[in-house]
Amino acid sequence: MKSSVNLHACLAALVCGCGQMAYAEGGGTVVDGAAIADESQTANWLSYGRTYSETRFSPLTQITDTNVSQLKVDWYLDLPDARMLVGTPLVVDGVIYFEAGYNVVHAVDAATGAVLWQYDPQVIETAGERLRIMWDQSRGLAFWKGKVYSATIDGRLIALDAATGKELWNVMTVDPELPFFITGAPRAFKDKVIIGNGGTEFGPIRGYLTAYDADTGEQAWRFFTVPGNPADGFEDETQAMAAETWTGEWWKHGGGGTVWHGLTYDPELDLLFIGTGNGAPWNQRIRSPGGGDNLFLCSVVALDPDTGEYRWHYQTVPGETWDYNSNMDIVLADLDIEGRTVKALMHAPKNGFFYIIDRETGKLVSAEPLGHMTWATHVDMETGRPVEVAGSRYEDHREDVWPGPLGVHSWHAMSYNPGTGLVYVPTIDLPGSYVDEGIDVEKWESTDWGFDAGVAPPFVADIATDAGTSALKAWDPVRQELVWEAANPGAWNAGTLTTAGNLVFQGHATGELKAYRADSGEEVMSFDVGAGISAPAITYTVDGKQHLAVLVGWGGALAAIGGSLNAQFGWAYKAHTRRLISFSLDGTAALPEAAPPVIPEPLEAPGFKVDEALAKEGELTYSKICGFCHGTGVVSGGFAPDLRASAVVPSSVSFAEVMHGGSRRAMGMPSFSGLSKEEVTALQHYIRRQALPKEDLP
């Protein structure tokens, strides 16, 4: 049945609410630890990575490598207010739960697409100027015993009644005075819900993870990933131990180490594994000038799930200085390696190595390069430490390093298929150019609420369309080698799903949803969904029928900041409808004809004379406060309007109304009232300079 937001859907929400009835009266699934741990059940998708193992492997076999080419649209739901859709929906007893736009939670009938309820946490209103530091994206929700948990961009954790969408409790998990945001999915176990946060590029942030009582929202424990100011006393001996690995006055810069993505609970070992973030700022010469490993940056840390106490850690990047965080997904499997069964933790962080860690002990089992890297040659198996290449720390010179800040693998979900024994990893090949020339490392201070990582401003020069590449890699985690790979368009890709139907699903930047044979990589399906895909697909059943669902809406870092490298796909601001699509083998719906890709044309403004000196001044301001949303070099990737094409910018009055007066606040554009009139004018000249024909650019 076709169902965009239409009369049918509205009526269903008003009079039917069948999903709710099924839950309340039908003795539906009790979503507890046993349910989330159950690898064999196939109807539901109960947690971010499907089960606690986070393998994103479904045993479903109705859709296979031989019939997947027959997949048709069963229903779709238009999400006109959303832009970046990067999340993994949950499915519980025939209801899909997901977030779209600014954390608007949707409950939708999984068989028809009819909207059952929506909950809008009013993020734009609540976040206010805090919207400067994040886009409209969320990677997912948690579910526990009849409640849905949403973590909002502005830092709240909210519990909703899954049957009705009614708010049950709501806690602020961050200090609103500090530039924290949340994009990650909460996780639930043992009647607790955990959530971390992000923000290391925007100010003096000290990373942590908090557990709350699932029923009441009361805080159960908090684990800090980096030590605070010694003068305040350390919380415990773990923090004192971590402080031994820092130098200088790191606490003034926060230290970083935010827990913004990879988390999973292991019910068998009763351990919680967390992936930690990069330093704040990236540049270690500022953050910890005498060096040191800087624990627990860029690490996998095992914690006691009841108390948050430290159990073990493995650090992937000692003394990090490139934004090589270790936040990426943590996938658990038992692997037969050299004649013994290893309780493995699989992890492919930004730094480019694929790690197998013994999750009982935290001991490194193996690590091999998953992609191109120039910062290190290998991991020394005696010490477990990477062997760095001299010069890669950009000491006194500019250094192009592989990978760049986007990493070889980012948050895009990898999946593990126990049938093929392979891990399907979306990988990126894009260098970074690092330099701290012109920065006084002794006096550097972060720009509160502006992007500044203690290296030269990154969002100034446009990024060429061929600056990087990406690929789906099928990786053998036991032999630590590549088995097959499929090129992805551009340098930013989507997460994966794998099934017992010998399939791997992955969306592309071009708007095609692809399926590959899991064992050989042969492409067996390509379906044009009309907009770029960043989210991973999920699969579930209703009344025994297998569905495949995916959120369609180009999103994530490169989709915002990526300049021409990203803009070439044509997903211009609000030009293409975002939607949730559900497929099946007997679907009968058809998507509306897609709008063609749109490449914004810079506006000619002959009356506006660019002053090059002013433009040069505005460049740094743009990099700190604008580029993160409006794109590197003022080439938008589609999250926010392309300012080169904006009629607002050439008008000093209109531009000031937006920047100082907040006239576009309702659309998600925060005001920047702290900027001086001169700074706004300089910004205007820089943006208009970037709008000039290429041959006129300096």
Active site (catalytic) residues: 323
Choose the stretch contacting Ca ion; rule: CB under 5 A; options: 97-105, 316-324, 466-474, 689-697: 316-324
Choose the stretch contacting Ca ion; rule: CB under 5 A; options: 122-130, 221-229, 317-325, 358-366: 317-325
CA distance 455 to 394: 10
Smallest gap from Cβ 398 to Ca ion, in A, equals 20
Decide whether 323 or 512 has the Cβ nearer to Ca ion. 323
- 52 to 71: interface string for Ca ion, x by CB under 5 A: --------------------
The closest alpha carbon to 125, from 153, 157, 86, 167, belongs to: 153
Smallest gap from Cβ 405 to Ca ion, in A, equals 7
The interaxial angle of helices 652-659 and 677-690, nearest 10 deg, is 110
DSSP 585-650: TT--B-PPPPPPP--PPPPP-TT----HHHHHHHHHHHHHHTHHHH-GGG---SSS--GGG-SSTT
Q: Residue 76 CB: number of other CB atoms within 10 A?
A: 25
Residue found under tokens 């499929």: 486
CB burial string 7-40: b at 16+ within 10 A, e below: ebbeebbeeebbbbebbeeeebbebeeebbbeee
Strands ordered across the beta sheet of 503-507: 57-58, 496-499, 503-507, 512-517, 523-528
Decide whether 278 or 539 has the Cβ nearer to Ca ion. 278
The closest alpha carbon to 658, from 630, 631, 637, 638, belongs to: 630
Decide whether 54 or 323 has the Cβ nearer to Ca ion. 323
Smallest gap from Cβ 468 to Ca ion, in A, equals 18
Looking at 379-427, list the stretches that DSSP marks H as alpha helix, in order from N- to C-terminal side: none
Q: Which two tokens stand for residue 386?
A: 């990477």
Q: Is the CB of residue 199 less than 8 Å from the CB of residue 153?
A: no
Choose the stretch contacting Ca ion; rule: CB under 5 A; options: 223-231, 315-323, 550-558, 587-595: 315-323
Looking at 493-576, list the stretches that DSSP marks H as alpha helix, in order from N- to C-terminal side: 557-561, 563-567
Which three-class secondary structure state does DSSP give residue 509?
coil
Residue found under tokens 């909207």: 115
Smallest gap from Cβ 279 to Ca ion, in A, equals 9
Smallest gap from Cβ 350 to Ca ion, in A, equals 8
Decide whether 242 or 298 has the Cβ nearer to Ca ion. 298
Decide whether 266 or 323 has the Cβ nearer to Ca ion. 323
Smallest gap from Cβ 481 to Ca ion, in A, equals 29
Decide whether 278 or 546 has the Cβ nearer to Ca ion. 278
CA distance 121 to 20: 21
CA distance 33 to 305: 13
Smallest gap from Cβ 517 to Ca ion, in A, equals 35
Decide whether 136 or 323 has the Cβ nearer to Ca ion. 323
Decide whether 305 or 627 has the Cβ nearer to Ca ion. 627
Q: What Rg do the C-alpha atoms of the chain give, in angstroms?
A: 24
CA distance 43 to 46: 10
CA distance 669 to 129: 8
CA distance 217 to 169: 6
Which three-class secondary structure state does DSSP give residue 322?
coil
Q: Is the CB of residue 364 less than 8 Å from the CB of residue 379?
A: yes
The closest alpha carbon to 669, from 656, 680, 657, 658, belongs to: 658
Smallest gap from Cβ 132 to Ca ion, in A, equals 16
Q: Is the CB of residue 14 less than 8 Å from the CB of residue 7?
A: no
For residue 181, the 8-state DSSP code is B
Decide whether 64 or 137 has the Cβ nearer to Ca ion. 137
496 binds Ca ion (CB under 5 A): no
Smallest gap from Cβ 436 to Ca ion, in A, equals 17
Signed CA dihedral, 407, 330, 49, 419: sign only: positive
For residue 576, the 8-state DSSP code is S
Smallest gap from Cβ 181 to Ca ion, in A, equals 12
Footprint on residues 230-289 left by Ca ion (CB under 5 A): 278
Decide whether 154 or 323 has the Cβ nearer to Ca ion. 323
Q: Is the CB of residue 690 less than 8 Å from the CB of residue 698?
A: no
Decide whether 294 or 577 has the Cβ nearer to Ca ion. 294
| Long-range contacts, stretch 99-105, CB < 8 angstroms, 24+ apart | 99/138, 99/140, 99/141, 99/150, 100/551, 100/553, 100/578, 100/580, 101/136, 102/127, 102/136, 102/152, 102/153, 102/668, 103/138, 103/150, 103/151, 103/152, 103/153, 105/141, 105/148, 105/150, 105/160, 105/165
The closest alpha carbon to 554, from 564, 538, 566, 539, belongs to: 566
Decide whether 292 or 432 has the Cβ nearer to Ca ion. 432
Footprint on residues 320-379 left by Ca ion (CB under 5 A): 323
Smallest gap from Cβ 323 to Ca ion, in A, equals 5
Smallest gap from Cβ 277 to Ca ion, in A, equals 6
- # residues near Ca ion by CB under 5 A: 2
Binding region for Ca ion (CB under 5 A):
278, 323
